[in-house]
A and B are shown apart, each in its own frame.
Chain A
Amino acid sequence: MSSKSSARRSTCSLIRLEWNRLAMIRSQMVLSFSRRRKALLLPVPSLCKGFRVGALRPQVGGTFEVRKVDLEEGRTTRSSTLEVILPSDLKGTASISAKIECSRDLMKVLNGRCNPFRPIEKSPPWQVQLERAQSIFQLKGLFAHLSQEALHSEGRLVPHQVLENRIICQLFPHVCLVLELHVDRNEIEGNPAVDEPAVERNLLTYTLEALLAHYQRKMVQGSIGLHPATAPLLMSERRRKAGPLCVSREELLDMVENESRSLLDQAIDIAKHMYLRKRVVTVIDEVTQHVKELHVICNAQSWSTAMMSTLRIMLTPNGYDALYRNLLLVKIGTDDVEVTCKNEMKTVRFQPDLTDFANFLKNQVNQVRVMGASVFTRLLNWTLLSSLTTYDSHLQEQVATVLLGSPDHKRVVSISACPSREPVVFVQRWSGEETASSHSALVTNLQWQLLGGQFNRCDLSAVCGRTFLHQLELVLCGLMAETGSELVHNGHS
């Protein structure tokens, strides 16, 4: 009995020894990486060869080790039995930061980090580590490619600057895009998929991530996995489909032009568009934030791309939406902003500076105030006598003025509006209020006695009403009454 137990014990120890030897699995693996596919592990016979990743130029070599962990060694807290041992230059995380800086205001307009090759959250820890190592390689390769394009770009007034791991490109005067490669060598403890440092994400980083991922996918597909059905055949898929889709000559030229553009040029165009978009929204906010008597609706249209957006701005008098409206369609490109004014049936282009755009918007706001008031007063049977737009050199802006006559032809009201202040109402003194002493002895003809007097400013703060048109309605109704003179404030005009 004891001999049998001792033989069994020795057999068990032998099995345990074999198990320990098998637990030390060393193999070289080639990892074909895609964020959406599972990692493919293919055995490579030689232990000494470096591995090659995708289409990186130059080829980056290195070895890493995947070990099967023996649970009896006490590491029961691990969720996976595989352990990845990476060399020091593959540890950590990498990302590319994109900043748009305006040197005039010394401010960062947009700032964020992007990494299109982040590991998927619920992957096993060993896969996350391998994918992180992969992303370091790919981002280094992409950044090297961007640096080469920046150094060899021609035909630009201000050449791009490449400083170690930073690329500075000028978008507009005083506005530049800074691309920087960040590699954080600190190894992340705990759950690597969750504990990545939180980075600021915005539309610029999302778009750049998509661009980098698309470019990397195109490069990887071009060098590996060639198959007769999916091989590019020296032209892109879009170009291959151009024939059966009856693509016209102009579309073909656009396609060829877009495909021949470099990665850095595409990133610069995206950054230009994002900057213009942010500036346009800021200008609209600045112009309309103090406008109380107008209802401003600004919607982004659905037909927007990474390099073109459309905004729809509707300006209506507050509370009287059906009375008068001004519709502006703002098309934001990469180099300019195009505004189509539906009321005036005209299209205007503005430079990236957007000072003219701000002035244009202020004038449109002004126009809506004045035209809204004139349309409203016509409903009350007042007559539009004249409409005038002049430039006030003191205020240095355009002033729009309308002159309205009462239904009984006894009162004249002037409404004047400019962008920097609220609309002002002036009421002409009633000819019936003229006393005998005010008539000149020289002017005896009756027709001169029917002329109105000077215009006096109306104090709208003393008039009840939530909006300017409410107050105007009260003023006009009061003027129609016999005792309308109390509303006229004897101030300077």
Chain B
Amino acid sequence: MVVSCVFQLSNPPDKTEHQTVTSLEQRITNLGAKKKGDFCVECSYYSCNLGTSSKVIHVLSNSEQPVTCFIVAESGNVLIADNMFFMVMSKLAPTYEEKKSQKIECRGSRFSFGDFLIKVGCVFQVSTVKGILVEVEYQPAVVLKDCWGLLKEFVEEFFGANPDFDARIAHCKDGALFHATDIIQQYLDKFNLYRNMAPIAFKSFNK
């Protein structure tokens, strides 16, 4: 499993998100990176009303793991299942209703630059552009603490952004392997920001 960080990119007021993404892709290509296809991370929102309380489930899928889907509950529990779990959710439709207005996704292009994989994508919520997310993967590493400095420097040098990861670093055990759920957690945190919802603390595997 690779180590990656996901961060938001601010959009200048005089440009649209598409123009910003296009210029950023041009800069990445000029740096010497090669385009390696597209990526997509989707998040569906299911809620169940039980009288006074309601239960929420987020179902995420990442094109990097094409046959996997991640189910995150409000309590922070994560279930990793096959892609056919969506059919299970459709069977639970009377109880867990999908809120299509809350469905959010990030789509964009992937670029390979040496040991790094850079993904630049626009965030859409029901065809409305919400912002720009960038994911930078460092492929040779599997432990976050070993390569965090390198990742942070790369992101700050090239993108001028600060990948706010220090809190996650503090909770990581020494030598804990980076998992796909860590990437999903980062995406979900950003998606919840765009949805104006509170972040969820994952009860994940290696921490």
Write the residues of chain A forming the contact surface with B, with a CB cutoff of 8 angstroms: 239-240, 242-249, 252
Contact = CB atoms under 8 A, between A and B. Distances in A.
29 contacts: A239-B67, A242-B67, A242-B68, A242-B82, A243-B67, A243-B68, A243-B69, A243-B80, A243-B82, A243-B83, A243-B84, A244-B68, A244-B80, A244-B81, A244-B82, A245-B68, A245-B80, A246-B1, A246-B68, A246-B80, A247-B65, A247-B67, A247-B68, A248-B64, A248-B65, A249-B63, A249-B65, A252-B66, A252-B67
Nearest to B66: A249
Classify the secondary structure of B's interface with A: loop
A239 B68 CA distance: 11
Contacts of B67: 239, 242-243, 247, 252
A249 B68 contact: no
A243 B1 CA distance: 15
Contacts of A249: 63-66
Interface residues of B, number: 15
A156 to B, nearest CB: 31
B180 interface: yes
B127 to A, nearest CB: 27
A243 B64 contact: no
A247 B83 CA distance: 12
A231 to B, nearest CB: 15
A252 to B, nearest CB: 6
A413 B63 CA distance: 65
Contacts of B66: 249, 252
B46 to A, nearest CB: 19
A248 B66 CA distance: 7
For B63, B66, B81, the residue with the greatest tally of chain A CB atoms inside 10 Å of its CB is: B66
For B65, B69, B83, the residue with the greatest tally of chain A CB atoms inside 10 Å of its CB is: B65
A239 B67 CA distance: 9
Interface in B53-102: 63-69, 80-84
A240 B82 contact: yes
B115 to A, nearest CB: 15
B179 to A, nearest CB: 8
A219 B56 CA distance: 44
A239 B1 CA distance: 18
A246 B65 contact: yes
A246 B1 CA distance: 9
Nearest to B80: A244
Given A248-B64, A248-B65, A252-B67, A243 B81 contact: yes
A247 B67 CA distance: 7
